Chains A and B, each alone.
Chain A
Amino acid sequence: MARLAGRRALFAVPVLGAVTFGVFAIAAASPFDPVKAYAGTAGLSASQETLDQLRANLGTDRPLVTRWWDWLTSAVRGDLGVSSALRQPVADVIGERVGWSVLLASAAFLVAVLLGGLLGVLAARRPGGWTDRAVTSLAYTLEAAPPFWLGLLVMWLFALRLGVLPAGGLTDTGSTVVTAGEVARHLVLPAGVLALSQLPWFVLYVRQGVGDALQEDPVRGARARGLAERTVLTGHALRSGMLPVLTLIGSRVPELITGALLVETVFSWPGIAAATVESATAADFPLLAALTVLATFAVLLGNLLADLLYGLADPRVGFDG
């Protein structure tokens, strides 16, 4: 296991390097003037002198590779620069927000895995049956529905029409302290929508996996032994059918991040998505670059996690290979 983790880490280094370089290259090709972006509307009336000074301060007049290397070395030391949109060190911006994003994403992921597993198994039990048709149609429709749209509809229904759940934010502001209960109430809608947006994938893959497993010999063997259908499903079909799903769970991290970006925006959840969108509208390069790298890191971590999960779940997989 240690070797696998090591190999993954070794792979991560060049990937992160390449991604950061790509980010710098895109920025270098951009017609956007980072100095003007930094100066904001004040920059419109600022003198050329001031702009030149800023340019020197931001170091945008140096060659691409130098800037990239400087950024990389200071990033390794923990200095990610200062966000021009939020005028705050990038590390602080991320530090304050990433926890909430992780909370949202993991809650949603958990719901999606559990619900998706359940629906997938229900559908797989009788391919072509009405449960199967209902579940697959639902999954396809959900897959086609943009999460932000779903979020708005859900918000309209539950927060505006029924008034049972808060429409957004993290807490009620009347209060000044974040309590778990409040966060939980505010978490329901965004996590629910994010889970819905991730659900189709789980449903369809579990349905496929379990459906295939139901056709295979282990299940035939289990049936022949006289096991109850429930035991056959949960103890055999599900357990072998979930294996391919496990390997792919890590590959869901990008989609999860994508969904979280949209859902956080709809529900003004104070995670990194809000920061991402804001930094994007302001062409805030330091923050955007750091967020891109962070997301890449999360994806790589997800891949590692999937490998480990698969290794834990399937005794046939050795970790020496």
Chain B
Amino acid sequence: MRARSIRVRGALATAAALTAVSSACSAPGEGGGEGAATSAVVGIAYEPETLSPLLGFGKDGNSKIFDGLLTHDADLTLRPALAAALPKVTDGGRTYTYALREGVKFSDGKPFTSADVVFTYETILDKGTSNPSKGELDAIRSVEAEGDDTVVFRLKYPYAPFAERTVLPIAPEHLAGGQDVNTGSFGTKPVGTGPYKLVKWSKGEQLVLEANPGYWGGAPKIERFTMAIIKDDDVRATRLRSGDLDGAILPPNLAKAFKGSGRRTYAARSFDYRTVTLPTGNKVTGDTAVRRALDIAVDRQAMVDGILEGAGRVAHGPVPTDSEWFTEGTRRTYDPKKARAILDEAGWRPGKDGIREKDGVRASFPLWYLSGDKLRQDHALAYASDARKIGVEAEVQAGTWEVIEPRMPEDAVLAGGGSPSDPDFDQYPLLRSDLAGDGFNNMGWYDNARVDRALETGRESGDRAERKAAYDTVQRELVKNPGYTFLTHIDHLYVVDDRFGDLSTQVEPHDHGLAAGPWWNVEDWQP
């Protein structure tokens, strides 16, 4: 009697779970499992912590739910979005005037006006808003609306790449304005002007988007776009293979396995570098000789071929070699012999176990990578292996950011970064000495007065040639005193089902948000 009731309860629980999941998975207005090409499910690795632009969501544009004043096209040229045209720049680069697109509505039907723009920027700049990237808007002195359809930004200094910043998504004042910006429900239930509306966000699991029929750019053909959040690379690959996903971002070794399986692999070029921080505070990594030796002791090409399966390029600094900002003459040549010579000359003598020593200091330092990040792990192992060959020991260790962060002033970290929009975007926070120890800015505590000055010039000068010269200086200084060993620029690999036809990708930054990859323009897909 008792046994039976237990069994019944178990069966009920199972049945309840079945219904719960099936109702969660079934799409309203959609029939059985044919799925068709009007819906797409993609697997992504990272989940945004919030969907509120006010807290940093989509700050680099392309947030699907929102639009910025401007947006990037395939080759990263700025195009007007919520603005009717590119901004008028006056006052020697200190004033940006945007005329707004007319007739745009938020997906809840309320009209979009200049007040929303002002609200968005002012809220982000407000001290009480915990938006970690508000520093990016540091140049703004004021934002003003001139009538319903014009917004004027006034800057503190002629910040050359400012227009690039205005891809930032615009939030509706009538919804987001009435609640606490940091804790309000807007972060989980966002409403914007973008091509898609949020249907459901089950954290850690998936983000379900539905086409916004009233989108000013025309209703998207892909009516339902689901982003499954799968942190584990292997699981993502498994589920892509099992047909669970239509597309996914994958590390190179896993993407390779999908060749000729009715899916296409897209390699998105990126500015995303992997680098080893060589903290100034460490007696070994702070030594310029060690830094220079390591810089030429790593076999970057082997990493590109072996770890990235060829999907990437060697990095000779933060700027990719094919960028217009790259400084010719700063390419590093792999030369372990010379590296050893540098160390010999600097007084680092090989010890008993083959590890060099100088003044009682062993040429050994810990090298941390984010646990679970296979790509960083492999880079770290390869780096350590190369370093060993010249008598320097990098002790590879794994940890979460919580563990790693307090150790950053002393220990080396396998870090990543890079942004294609403007050299200022990533070099300034990476190298400015006054940003050392500020969160994940300047993790290596790099301290070089000439670099500091050049970064300042690059940021504030409106003159293109002057800026180029400034960033050339930075890159040359990084050869003389490489506080970071730049290893590779990695291509982001995406595998997508054939049925969506031939897709395109953008050049991507390190922080490839939700809407990177071939689905950067999912609203334009023509299934």
Contact = CB atoms under 8 A, between A and B. Distances in A.
Interface of A: 1-2, 5, 36, 40-42, 44-47, 50, 85-88, 95-100, 102-103, 106, 155, 159-160, 166-179, 268, 270, 278, 281, 301, 304-305, 308-309, 312
A88 B20 CA distance: 15
B17 A177 contact: no
A305 B3 CA distance: 6
B202 interface: yes
A186 to B, nearest CB: 8
A176 B33 contact: yes
B142 interface: no
A305 B4 CA distance: 10
9 contacts: A44-B405, A45-B132, A87-B203, A97-B17, A98-B17, A99-B16, A159-B238, A178-B21, A268-B238
B204 A177 contact: no
A172 B243 contact: yes
Interface stretch (B24-32, B305-313, B467-475): B24-32
B6 A301 contact: yes
Contacts of B401: 41, 44
Top-4 shortest CB links A-B = A99-B17, A175-B33, A174-B35, A173-B244
A86 B242 contact: no
A40 B49 contact: yes
Interface stretch (B7-15, B279-287, B355-363): B7-15
Contacts of B26: 176-177
B244 A102 contact: no
Nearest to B13: A99
A52 B55 CA distance: 20
A151 to B, nearest CB: 11
A87 B440 CA distance: 25
Given A99-B17, A102-B10, A174 B204 contact: no
Given A177-B33, A178-B25, A270-B21, 9 more contacts: A42-B132, A44-B439, A44-B440, A168-B242, A171-B244, A173-B243, A174-B41, A179-B33, A268-B230
Identify the interface centre among A42, A167, A281, A305: most chain B CB within 10 Å of its CB: A167
Contact of A46 (B30, B130, B228, B238): B130
Contacts of A106: 10
Identify the interface centre among B22, B30, B204: most chain A CB within 10 Å of its CB: B204
Contacts of A40: 49
Contact of B243 (A87, A174, A308): A174
Nearest to A174: B35
Contacts of A36: 402
A106 B243 CA distance: 27
A278 B204 contact: yes
Contacts of B3: 305, 308-309, 312
B338 interface: no
A309 B3 CA distance: 8
Nearest to A50: B130
A173 B246 CA distance: 8
B422 to A, nearest CB: 23
Nearest to B228: A173
Contact of B32 (A103, A168, A177): A177
Interface string B24-48: 1111001011110001010000000
Contact of B204 (A47, A87, A301, A304): A87
Contacts of A99: 13-18, 20-21
Contacts of A309: 3
Nearest to A86: B204
A286 to B, nearest CB: 14
B235 A168 contact: yes
B239 interface: yes
A179 B34 CA distance: 13
Contacts of B246: 173-174
B424 to A, nearest CB: 21
Nearest to A308: B3
A233 B18 CA distance: 40
Contacts of B464: none
A44 B402 CA distance: 7
A238 B317 CA distance: 74
A159 B242 contact: yes
Interface in B388-404: 401-402
Contacts of A47: 130
Contacts of B21: 96, 99-100, 170, 178, 270
Nearest to B24: A96
Contact of B25 (A95, A176, A305): A176
B297 interface: no
A50 B228 CA distance: 31
A95 B20 contact: yes
Nearest to A182: B33
Contacts of B244: 168-169, 171-173
Given A45-B439, A166-B242, A305-B3, A171 B25 contact: yes
B22 A178 contact: yes
A278 to B, nearest CB: 7
Identify the interface centre among A45, A102, A278: most chain B CB within 10 Å of its CB: A45
Contact of B35 (A86, A103, A159, A175): A175
B17 A175 contact: no
Nearest to B371: A281
Contacts of A270: 21
A85 B204 contact: yes
Contact of B41 (A97, A173, A301, A308): A173
A84 B35 CA distance: 33
Given A95-B20, A178-B22, A308-B2, A173 B10 contact: no
B465 interface: no
Nearest to B55: A42
A189 to B, nearest CB: 11
A102 B26 CA distance: 22
A74 B148 CA distance: 51
B1 interface: yes
B243 A96 contact: no
Nearest to A165: B242
A103 B30 CA distance: 27
Given A42-B132, A86-B203, A98-B13, A175 B32 contact: yes
Identify the interface centre among B15, B238, B439: most chain A CB within 10 Å of its CB: B238
